[in-house]
Homo-oligomer: A and B are copies of this chain.
Amino acid sequence: MSSLAQAIRHAAQVNGAKIASRHAGREQTWTEFQTRISCLASGLHSLGICAGGRVACLALNSDRYLEFYYGVAWSGAVFVPVNTRLAPAEISYWLNDSGSTVLFVDETFLPVIDGLRDQLKTIKHLVYMGNGEAPDGCLPYEDVLANSTPVAATTRNGDDLVGIFYTGGTTGRSKGVMLSHRNLTHNVLQALPVIDMTADDVYLHTAPMFHIADAFAMMVATTMGATHVFVPAFEPLQVMQNLQQEKVTCVLLVPTMINILVNHPSLPDYDLSSLRYMLYGASPMPEAVMLKALEALPNAGFIQAYGQTEAAPVITLLGPEYHTTSGPYAGNLTAAGKALAGIDLAILDEQDKPLPTGEVGEICIHGDNVMLGYWNLPDMTAEALRGGWLHTGDGGRLDQDGLLFVVDRVKDMIVSGGENVYSAETEQAIYTHPAVAECAVIGIPHDTWGEQVHAIVRLHEGASATDQQLIDHCKTLIAAFKCPKSVEFRTQPLPLSGAGKILKKDLRAAYWEDQDRNVG
């Protein structure tokens, strides 16, 4: 049976004496790691967690976040990693919707939770995973482990739910993507022929660990018995220091972070020659940035990942051989890569019929990595998985070599600094302002963040509002990164399609002329 717990038993068996994680003066082997997470699982059982129960985490990156994932999986329960950039109302929605009864939280986010206590309807226990003394009302992390005796992993079926990863929704409501043990372990095996990590690799967590991109890389590293090291959050100097000091061999970054690193004045001061692999994805990578990165980090094999949470998460990888400006593989830097082994990828038309090579349609897949469904949303699940295909909502085309080019997001998602922003969610927030008659939110080009959230607004006759007033209004409702950065006012109605939908394609066109919006 494929399970996340099995990956730990395997690492302890074949790489037991190797270092599993090193952080903040703490270090443990894979054998020790297995003992600790089996104690953590036992501790969770004593907090009332049963098979299928939900356990959430709201924290910056650390070795304890790694233990959280595997301890929960070992206990037979379901992990719910929470986005650290959410507005408080969104956090409480995620926790309540998932029915999480235990929440792991660190010092950074404890104040947010303290402010939300009245609204959290299902949380029974807070486990304090930060440094220093646990505050009143919180269980100290190490006590949960120390007071428990190790237990064997709860044996569950490979198709059982192990994680709920929330994603923004086009309707403005977050959806909980349900992933099984098999979804996650299978996607790791599917990707390993391209990302050939070994037990000798050192993986630095720089992207946030709540995000499935880092969680995926975490599972790849764990499956191979590699070593995990951590920065709490992306800070370029700290990242470069860690890369050098820990002789890091593999890292995952969003293009924005790569852009910051390769343009950083201190880059030449650090020895980053240990880097074997640099994974990136989740937003458009400007070709100029890629060329600069190839020059700045000539030893690092770049690998682009395209995927989505619903695919657990990787669909295609563009291997290091394509990250070149010469030879037979050159000219494909804007491609998203090829479908992983075991993934059927098809470009379907609006009637779900396959399109010929080269034509643009919706990117659809099936494979053992495709999610179980959306938590408590059977209709949306049926819609996303209709006909046995996962409909990604992204538009793309295949070339004759099977390279995927992502050309548009059917669902109008904006990707800004590696974060997904669903335009409908931002639009709903803007629409709640009394002066707003009509609005559309689109992504416009931004040198650093790839895309910037841009609102086009028509006010009611006689009403008035400034751009800053609208932005401030949004910030009371949704996370800052989802709010518009710029607002354009119009006096004429926005252009509509025959079906009465705003023609965002037309609105975007003016901004994207001469820009390559291919994304990976």
Fill in one digit per residue for A1-45: 1 if any B CB lies within 8 Å of its CB, else 0: 110001101100111110000000000000000000000000000
Query: How far, in Å, is A430 (CB) from chain B's closest CB?
Result: 42
Most buried by B among A15, A155, A193: A193
Q: Hey, which chain B residues are within 8 Å of A7, CB to CB?
A: 341-342
- Residue A78 lies at the interface, judged by CB distance under 8 Å to chain B: no
- Residue A150 lies at the interface, judged by CB distance under 8 Å to chain B: no
Q: Hey, which chain B residues are within 8 Å of A198, CB to CB?
A: 193
Q: Tell whether, in the assembled complex, residue A1 and residue B224 are in contact, meaning their CB atoms are under 8 Å apart.
A: no
Q: A1-B366, A189-B190, A366-B1 are in contact. Are A342 and B400 (CB under 8 A)?
A: no
Q: Tell whether, in the assembled complex, residue B193 and residue A17 are in contact, meaning their CB atoms are under 8 Å apart.
A: no
User: Which residue of chain B has its CB nearest to the CB of A196?
Assistant: B196
Fill in one digit per residue for A326-362: 1 if any B CB lies within 8 Å of its CB, else 0: 0000000000001101111100000000000000000
Q: Tell whether, in the assembled complex, residue B185 and residue A6 are in contact, meaning their CB atoms are under 8 Å apart.
A: no
Q: Tell whether, in the assembled complex, residue B400 and residue A224 are in contact, meaning their CB atoms are under 8 Å apart.
A: no
Q: Hey, which chain B residues are within 8 Å of A1, CB to CB?
A: 366-368
In the assembled complex, the Cα of A186 lies from the Cα of B182 at a distance in Å of 11
Fill in one digit per residue for A198-212: 1 if any B CB lies within 8 Å of its CB, else 0: 100000000000000
Q: Tell whether, in the assembled complex, residue B17 and residue A400 are in contact, meaning their CB atoms are under 8 Å apart.
A: yes
Q: A193-B192, A196-B193 are in contact. Are A339 and B10 (CB under 8 A)?
A: yes
Q: Tell whether, in the assembled complex, residue B14 and residue A342 are in contact, meaning their CB atoms are under 8 Å apart.
A: no
- Residue A434 lies at the interface, judged by CB distance under 8 Å to chain B: no
Q: Hey, which chain B residues are within 8 Å of A188, CB to CB?
A: 341
- Residue A158 lies at the interface, judged by CB distance under 8 Å to chain B: yes
* CB contact list, A122-171 vs B, under 8 A: 155, 158
In the assembled complex, the Cα of A17 lies from the Cα of B403 at a distance in Å of 13
Most buried by B among A1, A17, A196, A342: A342
* CB contact list, A91-134 vs B, under 8 A: none
User: Which residue of chain B has its CB nearest to the CB of A343?
Assistant: B10
Q: Hey, which chain B residues are within 8 Å of A401, CB to CB?
A: 14, 16-17
Q: Hey, which chain B residues are within 8 Å of A185, CB to CB?
A: 342
Query: How far, in Å, is A1 (CB) from chain B's closest CB?
Result: 6
Q: Which of B13, B15, B223, B338 contacts A345 (CB 8 A)?
A: B13
Q: Tell whether, in the assembled complex, residue B158 and residue A344 are in contact, meaning their CB atoms are under 8 Å apart.
A: no
- Residue A298 lies at the interface, judged by CB distance under 8 Å to chain B: no
* CB contact list, A307-340 vs B, under 8 A: 338-339
Query: How far, in Å, is A223 (CB) from chain B's closest CB?
Result: 5
- Residue A385 lies at the interface, judged by CB distance under 8 Å to chain B: no
Q: Which of B10, B13, B338 contacts A14 (CB 8 A)?
A: B338
In the assembled complex, the Cα of A7 lies from the Cα of B341 at a distance in Å of 7
Q: Tell whether, in the assembled complex, residue B192 and residue A16 are in contact, meaning their CB atoms are under 8 Å apart.
A: no
In the assembled complex, the Cα of A367 lies from the Cα of B400 at a distance in Å of 36
Q: Hey, which chain B residues are within 8 Å of A6, CB to CB?
A: 342, 344, 367
Query: How far, in Å, is A56 (CB) from chain B's closest CB?
Result: 28
In the assembled complex, the Cα of A190 lies from the Cα of B7 at a distance in Å of 12
- Residue A442 lies at the interface, judged by CB distance under 8 Å to chain B: no
Query: How far, in Å, is A386 (CB) from chain B's closest CB?
Result: 15
User: Which residue of chain B has its CB nearest to the CB of A158?
Assistant: B368
Q: Tell whether, in the assembled complex, residue A15 and residue B402 are in contact, meaning their CB atoms are under 8 Å apart.
A: yes
Most buried by B among A13, A345, A366: A13
* CB contact list, A218-248 vs B, under 8 A: 223-224
Q: Tell whether, in the assembled complex, residue B368 and residue A10 are in contact, meaning their CB atoms are under 8 Å apart.
A: no
* CB contact list, A387-405 vs B, under 8 A: 388, 398, 400-402
In the assembled complex, the Cα of A192 lies from the Cα of B189 at a distance in Å of 8
Q: Tell whether, in the assembled complex, residue A342 and residue B16 are in contact, meaning their CB atoms are under 8 Å apart.
A: no
In the assembled complex, the Cα of A6 lies from the Cα of B345 at a distance in Å of 10
In the assembled complex, the Cα of A155 lies from the Cα of B367 at a distance in Å of 12
Interface residues of A (CB under 8 A from B): 1-2, 6-7, 9-10, 13-17, 155, 158, 182, 185-186, 188-190, 192-193, 196, 198, 223-224, 338-339, 341-345, 366-368, 388, 398, 400-402
Q: A6-B367, A155-B388 are in contact. List 7 more A-B contacts (CB 8 A).
A: A6-B344, A7-B342, A9-B344, A13-B338, A189-B189, A192-B192, A224-B341
> What are 12 A-B pairs with beta-carbon distances under 8 A?
A1-B366, A1-B367, A7-B342, A13-B345, A13-B398, A13-B402, A14-B339, A17-B400, A17-B401, A158-B368, A186-B186, A189-B189
Q: Which 10 A-B pairs have the closest CB atoms?
A: A14-B402, A189-B189, A13-B402, A14-B338, A192-B193, A223-B341, A2-B368, A2-B342, A6-B344, A196-B196
